[in-house]
Structure 1
């Protein structure tokens, strides 16, 4: 996993399942060694499966909602002078429901993981990449970033932050040899909606994209140096396109119909 071995090194967060695991699989299949992270013990099983693809894989179980977890992950990833060629900042969480009724700790966890830890890890990685004048950064945002998100207000706002943040960093780094890409998936077949308490919503109970397809499109866009990619179905691209012209009130109403609790029961 060192530079001397000639294989580039990628760090992927939130990699125990879903889009994160499939991103890690893309890197492994394309000749990268890996450092993979998640807060759950499933990261060890994910690492075992990824090693079967011929990659050297180190699993780091760490909760990134706190500064100590981010610092420990980065220290492990760069131990012995290893240099990251790619970082995929993918770990994230949602919180569904009316903001006046949701648990404050859950909303703050969304901010801490989706926003604060992303900024922290990006700071550590980008400083090194900019100094070396090479590297690639992928942020997992969402098409939710393009619209207000009633009934997942904190989550949608966190993804809007990541989209804006990635675009700003991309411009700052445009002459540095470092590329920044935002991944913008739509509803994807992962554990997200169950964990966010949104299984009874229209979006949570409806058709979802294959995370393997999303990851493959993300990998291609990242390696091509694209600024963003709306991944998954054609419907996602249509939604992202419509978001550029629709007023905020209309977008909020449309999101409400998808995310309001009970909307998946035909209400």
Structure 2
């Protein structure tokens, strides 16, 4: 059941993973509501800043930081200073394709530290202040693969399983408060993920992808409505439903067919 439905966002909005894709589209939506923005990413944000200003943001600050590290999280908190963050959009995430055993450990650790440690750390630090003043909204980008054992994208799927469970549990802990926790679950989306994950040779990377603007709009509206979970896209809703009821072994086989590199199939 939704709670605390509002018509638009107001105040200071912090968005991670905001240089492109879903994060940039979320920034455009918040900008259209005339919010003040802090945009964070591990890549250059000059284009994102220009886009947000053109979309109507009252003010835009940017920070290039690695959110898999304590130093990166500390840099975000230092930039915030004594200000109140009204909305946190924890969108930053990463992943690597290929066989788990063949992957470099540093890459595995970076995915875990970005998707879990960085996300949870920001939510803990910023959410603590929201709870203290009994007001605030947090949107976290999960994935429909959170319910799918993920051969050839194993760490990403597993971290997203944690993220979604964490969000639902946190929403329950805070259900008596005016702090809203919303988890957005996209499917395959037209972002830079597959390039950065070195998965361009997989069938899923060559499949039809959702428009990140549509995905962001779904998540943004769910946050305004106070919904806990939002699966973006009708077919993704169907896929997410069947992933929950089919045996894990079958889901794993299906995922492998989509994520395994075509040149290395066995």
Structure 1 and Structure 2 fold alike (TM over 0.5): yes
CA distance in 2, matches of 1:193, 1:53: 27
Change (3 A) 1:255 1:51: same
State how 1:21-32 maps to structure 2 within 5 Å: 21-32=24-35
> Relative CO higher for 1 or 2, CA cutoff 8 Å, sep ≥ 6?
2
Secondary structure of 1:244's aligned partner = helix
1:54 CA displacement: 2.4
- Aligned equivalent of 1:258: 258
CA distance in 1, matches of 2:132, 2:183: 22
- Indicate whether 1:249 and 2:252 are aligned: no
1:45 CA displacement: 1.9
State how 1:152-171 maps to structure 2 within 5 Å: 152-171=153-172
CA distance in 2, matches of 1:154, 1:266: 19
- Indicate whether 1:16 and 2:19 are aligned: yes
CA distance in 1, matches of 2:216, 2:169: 23
- Aligned equivalent of 2:4: none
State how 1:107-146 maps to structure 2 within 5 Å: 107-146=108-147
1:103 CA displacement: 1.2
Q: Residues 153-208 of structure 1: CA distance to partner in whole angstroms, max 9, x if unpaired? A: 10000000000110111011111110101110000001100110111111011110
Question: Which blocks of at least 5 consecutive residues in structure 1 are unaligned?
Answer: 1-5
Q: Residues 219-260 of structure 1: CA distance to partner in whole angstroms, max 9, x if unpaired? A: 0001100011011x3211110111221111111111111101
1:7 CA displacement: 4.8
Question: Which blocks of at least 5 consecutive residues in structure 2 are unaligned?
Answer: 1-8
Secondary structure of 1:35's aligned partner = strand
Moved more, 127-136 or 21-30: 21-30
- Aligned equivalent of 2:77: 74
- Aligned equivalent of 1:37: 40
1:125 CA displacement: 0.8
Q: Residues 51-96 of structure 1: CA distance to partner in whole angstroms, max 9, x if unpaired? A: 122211101111111111111112212x3x3211110101010100
1:124 CA displacement: 0.4
CA distance in 1, matches of 2:142, 2:74: 22
Secondary structure of 1:138's aligned partner = strand
CA distance in 1, matches of 2:246, 2:35: 41
Q: Residues 124-162 of structure 1: CA distance to partner in whole angstroms, max 9, x if unpaired? A: 011000001000111110001011000111000000000
Runs of 4+ in 1 over 4 A off after TM superposition: none
Secondary structure of 2:61's aligned partner = strand
* TM-score normalised over the length of structure 1: 0.93
Secondary structure of 1:183's aligned partner = strand
- Aligned equivalent of 1:91: 92
* TM-score normalised over the length of structure 2: 0.93
The one of 55, 60, 66 aligned to 1:57: 60
Q: Aligned residues, how many?
A: 257
